[in-house]
Chains A and B, each alone.
Chain A
Amino acid sequence: MSPGVLQNLGIGDVAIAALLVFVNGAVSVLLKLDLERKLAWAAVRTVVQLLAIGYVLGWVFAFNRWYVVLPLMALMTLIAGFAGAQRGARTYGGQRADSIVSIWVSAWLVAAVGLFVVIRIRPWYEPQYAIPILGMILGNTLTGVSLGVERMMQELTARRDRVESALALGATRWEAAQASAREAVRAGMIPTLNQMAVVGVVSLPGMMTGQVLAGQSPLQAVRYQIVIMFLIACSSALGTVGAVLLAYRRLFSPEHRFLVARLVERKARG
């Protein structure tokens, strides 16, 4: 294979790789993990979702109009916002809206910096850049947001006595909540920090790998990856802080009350 030319994959080639799922199936059967159905479903979803997005992206890249690119990006953001509110044993009224708002604002702000200031794409909606970069930012931001808010609810439940004692002593709502909020933001930022610490040593990020496979020089690929890492770190920090503050505003009233009744157990889904 000559450098700079990507080996094209046929459907048959993909099918060979897909057969590897039977290794997982064998493990599940041998160890009685009872995961066969889940595995089959996950495998089907992988194939169907990726094929679908391949066709969609192919069409969007070819059509290349802002009024198609922007709604697609908005849809991705909405889905990330929904996913960001699905974690943990508890929830509160408005968590989904808070998740969407915090992910939307942080990811779009940071993506704008990356696309317009750093990479300087032309035209401004160039989908080949805008969509994958927003996608990577969204994926990591939603992890931070969901971990952060989950931790916020855990901490407030575990520390309820202390929070109320602080309020009874005359603490403001922020003074009573800040220990929990701090833990929550830390929990949301840790995955990105871990990722940044091992990138290139333990993990080769997918985007970088992809660029190298596509014939890009490793040095260029690495520069892109550095930019992406910082965009991701910034957006997940902003998103986590935003989501934790929004949760705080829902769970503490301006009268400096802890509205513990708003924290409800998530209904188990069948």
Chain B
Amino acid sequence: MLKHPHSPPPHANGAALVETHRIARRDVQRGQWLLHPADFALRAGERAVLTGPSGSGKSVFLRALALLDPLDGGAVRWHGEPVTRARIVHYRRHIAYLRQRPALLDGNVEDNLRYPYTLAAYRHEQFDAARTRALFDAAGRSSDFLTRNTAELSGGEAQIVALVRVLQLDPEALLLDEPTASLDPESARAVEALVTDWFEQARTARATVWVSHDPAQASRVGARHLTMRAGVLEEPAARAPFMEAAQ
């Protein structure tokens, strides 16, 4: 099992936030492994970063972690408990996956921020306009940003909206699938800052897995380094942390 040698203290009940046991994905038609059986544990307080060539299976792994695709083997545990069919929606609410290309609904920014509260999983929560305004402030967006139509947003602005939409819901962990890969540098910095702020607010309870192909970003957003090559997840940091980080 891949475990970081300097893991922070485990969660109250001793279990990792998210733990996978030999999760695997296969392309049945071509008979290829998309993801070889992978063991991985994400503990509260960890900032993991996953790098690797494009097409190596980074997204496949992250989507598997978010339970978005059917697994061809293995299991995911959440606080030590298996994620059953009944808990899967609950799980996704807390272990939030953010895709590379943001998908916003028609309408304005506020419509998009309110959308999660229309879902059954959030029926006991309420939209907090002041809080989202503060988040947009932190990202350098003015207060009239909420009324902007999503069709007029740049790619960077759309990704900031998608990120704020997730952060306002207080997830435990963020699974970030190259969220800044197609953004301008300014937006990319805003996204990194939002994630860092969110993490620092409760760093003993939160965690991130950040997929990145930018080594500079990788060293900024993660302390624990994983790699993906041809569907094989490895953690070279366990062997030579400084050499990997310098690459």
Which positions in A face B, CB cutoff 8 Å?
A: 161-162, 164-172, 175, 253-259
Contact = CB atoms under 8 A, between A and B. Distances in A.
A257 to B, nearest CB: 6
Highest count of chain B CB atoms <10 Å: which of A172, A255, A259: A255
Contacts, number: 66
B97 A170 contact: no
A167 B103 contact: no
Interface in B198-237: none
B166 to A, nearest CB: 7
10 contacts: A162-B105, A165-B99, A167-B68, A168-B96, A168-B97, A168-B99, A169-B119, A170-B122, A171-B119, A253-B70
Nearest to A159: B103
A257 B115 CA distance: 19
Given A255-B88, A256-B89, A168 B121 contact: no
B90 interface: yes
B93 A175 contact: no
Category for how many chain B residues contact A? 20 to 34
B120 A169 contact: no
A155 to B, nearest CB: 13
B70 A257 contact: yes
B85 A170 contact: no
Contact of A170 (B99, B102, B116): B116
B67 A257 contact: yes
Highest count of chain A CB atoms <10 Å: which of B66, B69, B101, B115: B69
Nearest to B102: A165
Nearest to B122: A170
B141 interface: no
B224 to A, nearest CB: 23
Contacts of B67: 255, 257
Nearest to B28: A261
Contact of A161 (B69, B101, B120): B101
A207 B207 CA distance: 69
B142 to A, nearest CB: 25
Nearest to B177: A168
Interface of B: 66-70, 85, 88-90, 92-93, 96-99, 101-105, 115-116, 119-122, 162, 165-166, 169
Given A161-B99, A255-B85, A170 B119 contact: yes
Contacts of B89: 170-172, 256
A169 B103 contact: no
A161 B101 CA distance: 8
Given A161-B99, A164-B103, A259-B70, A169 B85 contact: no
Among all A-B residue pairs, the 3 with the closest Cβ atoms:
A170-B93, A161-B103, A170-B121
A256 B84 CA distance: 11
Contacts of B166: 169
A257 B69 contact: yes
Contacts of B116: 169-170
Given A162-B103, A259-B70, A168 B92 contact: yes
Contacts of A253: 70
A191 B102 CA distance: 35
Given A166-B115, A169-B92, 5 more contacts: A161-B101, A170-B90, A171-B121, A172-B120, A254-B85
Contacts of A164: 68, 99, 103
Contacts of B104: 162
A73 B112 CA distance: 50
Highest count of chain B CB atoms <10 Å: which of A165, A256, A258: A165
Highest count of chain B CB atoms <10 Å: which of A162, A169, A175, A253: A169
Nearest to B98: A168
A164 B100 CA distance: 12
Contacts of A259: 70
Contacts of B93: 169-170
Given A161-B103, A172-B120, A175-B120, A256 B88 contact: yes
A70 to B, nearest CB: 41
Contact of A165 (B103, B120, B169): B103
Given A161-B103, A162-B105, A169 B165 contact: yes
